Amino acid sequence: MSAALPRRAGQWIVGEEDLANADRILVCFPHAGAGASMYRPWRARMPASTAVLAVQLPGRETRASEPLIDDAREAARAISQAIVTARRGERAWPMAFFGHSLGALVAFETARTLAEEGEPGPHILFAAGRRAPGLALSRPLLHTLDDDDFVAAVRELGGTPPGILEDRRFARFILPMLRSDIAMTDGYVLSPGPDLAARIVTLRADGDILASRAEVEAWADFAPVGQFRCVVFSGDHFFVRHAQQAVIDLVRSEFSPD
């Protein structure tokens, strides 16, 4: 059972200062093992009219001392509350979510939580490198393996950026976080929930063995009729990092007015 989670917006999201000159919001959700800093370069590459907020889960970066969380819905409840607080009553602002891998799942659950609470959700959900919710795992459970087998399995799947597990001292720090994040995926079961009003744009790489074409295109089942698009990039599971500018350009063209 996860510990009780603090609800202040400043803990769960980073970048609220961008709201001062903005009239729309892009909320970014990191992949397993990553923190809000992976989206820091996006802030300089998006229009000033778009506030780039990044989700910061417990146990990493500025929240390194806090207990980890391994339940996507629990995270979504806290994140949705943080978003409502950050908007400061500006309910009409257009909003988009961008999530990579695990981040796409948490973004989806956050959008559903906002809908359940009667709060405006995202106009667009960008889901990158992630099979659609509800599809069965195409791999064995990983989070229960011992450290050696866990590292070997994650490395074989390409589930972490290259080299991140090679440094043993750094690996000891990141392993608990990575294991907790993967437990979110391993233990996730799609539950009944509200339909999303958001248009869904999926992004996948042609060499991503963690998210096949069919698995990514199944996101269409969660979008309003005619409101789904799938964009294919070259690369592996971490194309969002390798093709960062191309990904940002896509988000700008789909969401930003300028």
Tens digit of each residue's pLDDT (9 = 90 or more) over 198-241: 999 999 999 988 889 999 999 999 999 999 999 999 998 889 98
Terminal CA-to-CA distance of the chain, rounded, Å? 45
Give catalytic residues, as residue numbers.
Answer: 101
Domain ranges of the chain: 9-136+191-255
pTM of the model: 0.90
pLDDT at residue 11, as a whole number: 87
Tens digit of each residue's pLDDT (9 = 90 or more) over 39-72: 999 999 999 899 999 999 999 999 988 999 999 9
pLDDT at 1 over 70: no
pLDDT at residue 149, as a whole number: 78
Residue 70 and residue 153 in contact, taking contact as beta carbons nearer than 8 Å: no
Residue 68 and residue 92 in contact, taking contact as beta carbons nearer than 8 Å: no
What is the CATH code for 9-136+191-255? 3.40.50.1820
Tokens of 246: 């191309």
Distance CA(142)–CA(146), nearest Å, equals 9
Distance CA(37)–CA(172), nearest Å, equals 20
pLDDT cut 90: percent of the chain above it? 58
pLDDT at residue 67, as a whole number: 92
Distance CA(5)–CA(134), nearest Å, equals 26
HEC assignment per residue over the chain: CCCCCCCCHHHHEECHHHHHHCCEEEEEECCCCCCHHHHHHHHHHCCCCEEEEEECCCCCHHHCCCCCCCCHHHHHHHHHHHHHHHHCCCCCCCEEEEEECHHHHHHHHHHHHHHHCCCCCCCEEEEECCCCCCCCCCCCCCCCCCHHHHHHHHHHHCCCCCCCCCCHHHHHHHHHHHHHHHHHHHCCCCCCCCCCCCEEEEEEECCCCCCCHHHHHHHHHHCCCCCEEEEEECCCCCHHHHCHHHHHHHHHHHHCCC
Question: Which of residues 10 and 57 earns the better pLDDT score?
Answer: 57
pLDDT at 147 over 90: no
pLDDT at residue 170, as a whole number: 67
Tokens of 120: 């405006």
**Residue 230, beta-bridge partner list:** 202
Distance CA(55)–CA(60), nearest Å, equals 11
Place of tokens 């930003």: 256
* pLDDT tier at 12, thresholds 50, 70, 90: very high
